[in-house]
């Protein structure tokens, strides 16, 4: 006897549910095990630089508060924003050095390098503006604005990848916190400069770096 052949269409297999947020983060961060030697060098150099920024800004503000310097509230936004930024790039960079390395080659990688150069240069010039005044502050402002402009260009590229299935929610959310941290830090820094860097002179004296 011949077996009956069903003419009804087979039901499609139910798609697997997306991982929970914590599971998605664990999967993303777990890719650090795929790092090669060059990936570790790049990762430690980049994240280590930002950890240094957190320690420098946080240490300076702490020393000023401890010495009773009249630091304004916005001074505390520098280490706060730096910590948010550093945590976000510590996660984001793992994907950039592994699953999305090929997707970033070319234009997007170049945009990242431009943002890094602009961001570092703007911070250095803002420090120099303490004693150098507008001669350093004006180019620092231009570089700051350019860094955010190129960050928006970078976001357009990321969203194009996400919509074509070449990114994921962890990478996208990490970029939200990168922009948040950068924005908080730089807004606080510029407010501090606009208010005359109140408390900096007293903090430098407390650190033994200024005239008593």
> Is 28 inside a domain boundary?
no
For residue 117, name the pLDDT band (cuts at 50, 70, 90). very high
Q: What is the pTM of this model?
A: 0.89
- Rounded to whole angstroms, how far apart are CA atoms 197 and 78? 13
On whether residue 31 sits in a domain, the answer given is: no
- Dihedral sign for Cα atoms in the order 49, 47, 149, 103: positive
Inside any domain, residue 141: yes
Domain tally, the chain:
1
Answer whether residue 29 is part of any domain: no
User: Quick one: tokens of 165?
Assistant: 């299935």
Q: Strand, coil or helix: what is 35?
A: coil
Identify the domain containing residue 115 by its residue range.
Answer: 37-197
Give the pLDDT band (50/70/90) at residue 10: low
Alpha carbon distances (Å) from 77 to 54, 70, 73, 205: 11, 15, 8, 22
Can you give the pLDDT at residue 103? 87
- Contacts (Cβ under 8 Å, ≥6 apart) of 84: 177, 180, 181, 184
Q: Is residue 26 part of a domain?
A: no
With respect to residue 125, please indicate whether it lies within any of the assigned structural domains.
Answer: yes
- Position 95 scores a pLDDT of 95
pLDDT confidence tier of residue 60, bands split at 50, 70 and 90: very high
Q: What is the mean pLDDT of residues 69-88?
A: 97
Q: Is residue 137 part of a domain?
A: yes
Per DSSP, helices labelled H in 133-199 are 134-163, 169-194
Q: Which residues of 95-124 are buried (b: 16+ CB within 10 A; e: fewer)?
A: bbbbbbeebbeeebeebbebbeebbebbbe
Answer yes or no: is pLDDT of 12 > 80.
no
pLDDT digits (tens, 9 = 90+) for 13-42: 556 677 888 999 999 999 999 999 999 999
Lowest mean pLDDT among 84-93, 145-154, 203-212: 203-212
The residues, any chain, with a CB within 8 Å of residue 100's CB and separated by 6 or more, are 161, 166, 167, 171
Q: Tell me if 144 is assigned to some domain.
A: yes
> Cβ of 5: how many Cβ atoms within 10 Å?
5
pLDDT in tens, 124-161: 999 999 999 999 999 999 999 999 999 999 999 999 99
């Amino acid at each position: 006897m011949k077996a009956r052949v069903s003419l009804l269409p087979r039901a499609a297999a139910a798609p697997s549910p997306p991982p929970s947020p914590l599971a998605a983060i664990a999967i993303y961060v777990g890719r650090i095990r795929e790092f090669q030697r060059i990936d570790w060098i790049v990762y430690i150099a980049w994240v280590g630089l930002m950890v240094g920024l957190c320690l420098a800004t946080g240490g300076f503000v702490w020393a000023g508060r401890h010495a009773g310097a009249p630091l304004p509230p916005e001074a505390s936004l520098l280490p706060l924003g730096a910590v948010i930024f550093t945590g976000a790039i510590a996660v984001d960079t793992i994907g950039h050095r592994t699953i999305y390395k090929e997707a970033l080659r070319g234009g997007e990688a170049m945009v990242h390098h431009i943002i890094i150069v602009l961001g570092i240069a703007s911070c250095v010039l803002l420090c120099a503006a303490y004693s150098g005044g507008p001669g350093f502050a004006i180019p620092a402002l231009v570089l700051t604005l350019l860094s955010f402009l190129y960050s928006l260009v970078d976001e357009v590229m990321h969203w194009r990848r996400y919509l074509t299935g070449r990114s994921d929610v962890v990478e996208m959310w990490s970029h939200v916190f990168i922009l948040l941290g950068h924005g908080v830090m730089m807004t606080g820094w510029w407010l501090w400069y606009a208010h005359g860097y109140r408390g900096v002179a007293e903090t430098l004296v407390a650190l033994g770096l200024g005239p008593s």
